[in-house]
Amino acid sequence: MHYEGNIIRPPSEARSIILQATVGCSHNRCTFCPTYTGVRFRIKDEATLSADIRYAAQAFPGARRLFITDGDALIIPFKRLRQLFLEINEQLPRLTRIGIYASAKSLRRRSLEELNQLREQKLGIIYYGLESGDDVTLAAIDKGTTGEESIALCRKVKAAGIKLSTTVMIGIAGPERSLIHARKTGEVLSAIDPDYVGALITMIAPGTRLEAAERQGQFALPDQRGLLLELKEMITWTNLSKGMFMANHASNYLPIKIHSPAQREAALSMIDAALSGAVPLREEWMRGL
């Protein structure tokens, strides 16, 4: 396979074939994101992609899942994207699901009809970085969208019958706006009602604009207690029909897994117990950063 640069994928795609169809991210402006710093976005040429698909078909003929990178590969113009999906399905007929990352910019370009066509070609899940539902925070991190727009874009994915997984960031609004960010994010998540939510503690990565802001005293993360209070507020304001809300990434101090709405109260009680010191938190060295 012809891989270039940083290849990232969601944890749930650990067993998938990874097909790198684009290099970088067409947005590439989020202040916290170190993944494609300095990488000029481009779509890989058709010959390279065809060779990779043929190789994958020979190496993993029984593969069930395939994941397309990089950062927002859904941005590929529809004609090329449809051709890519046709080729993948032709070479790997046993696939049951194709997954892809999407940004607001890429979802803006996909009509419901196009998403329907991709779903028919086994596009089964889209991963979307919501990060926050608070417009002030979204502007501060240069996400290039608003909470309202994210609701409309994500509802389009759901209307096409494609599963939706969203990530949100704990701590990204800093201490002063922490609880507003939490509440507004919960409200936007409730309006979207995604199939899965993953909450990650913000990591300040070297070389990012967020790190520069921290160095200049313009940004700070909430302290450990503040992060837990933010997570609690976000869960309190989030109402999901299936209720899958995971805050169990290695970066989190307190692993929380909510599989159904019925488990929400227990999760909130666990956070309260952690805030009172009755439940131990992950030590710094145990956090997978």
Range 207-246, binding ligand SF4 (CB under 6 A):
none
Q: Is 25 in the site for ligand SF4 (CB under 6 A)?
A: yes
The smaller minimum CB distance to ligand SF4, of residues 103 and 202, is found at 103
The stretch among 22-30, 220-228, 230-238, 278-286 that binds ligand SF4 (CB under 6 A) is 22-30
Binding residues for ligand SF4, how many (CB under 6 A)?
A: 11
Supply φ then ψ for residue 164, to 5 degrees. -130, 125
HEC sequence for the chain = CCCCCCCCCCHHHCCCEEEECEECCCCCCCCCCCCCCCCCCEECCHHHHHHHHHHHHHHCCCCCEEEEECCCHHHCCHHHHHHHHHHHHHHCCCCCEEEEEECHHHHHHCCHHHHHHHHHCCEEEEEEEEECCCHHHHHHCCCCCCHHHHHHHHHHHHHCCCEEEEEEEECCCHHHHHHHHHHHHHHHHHHHCCCEEEEEECCCCCCCHHHHHHHCCCCCCCCHHHHHHHHHHHHHHCCCCCCCEEECCCCCCCCEEECCHHHHHHHHHHHHHHHCCCCCCCCHHHCCC
Smallest separation, CB 249 to ligand SF4 (Å): 15
Q: Is 27 in the site for ligand SF4 (CB under 6 A)?
A: yes
Binding mask 127-166 for ligand SF4 (x = CB under 6 A): --x-------------------------------------
Cα(285)–Cα(268) distance, integer angstroms? 25
Cα(98)–Cα(118) distance, integer angstroms? 9
The stretch among 20-28, 41-49, 86-94, 256-264 that binds ligand SF4 (CB under 6 A) is 20-28
The stretch among 26-34, 202-210, 265-273, 281-289 that binds ligand SF4 (CB under 6 A) is 26-34
The smaller minimum CB distance to ligand SF4, of residues 72 and 230, is found at 72
Smallest separation, CB 104 to ligand SF4 (Å): 8
Smallest separation, CB 129 to ligand SF4 (Å): 5
Range 72-111, binding ligand SF4 (CB under 6 A):
72, 103
The stretch among 28-36, 109-117, 120-128, 229-237 that binds ligand SF4 (CB under 6 A) is 28-36
Smallest separation, CB 263 to ligand SF4 (Å): 29
Determine which residue in the list 17, 18, 21, 33 makes contact with ligand SF4, applying CB under 6 A.
Answer: 33
Smallest separation, CB 19 to ligand SF4 (Å): 17
Q: Is 35 in the site for ligand SF4 (CB under 6 A)?
A: yes
Residues making contact with ligand SF4 (CB under 6 A): 25, 27-30, 33, 35, 71-72, 103, 129
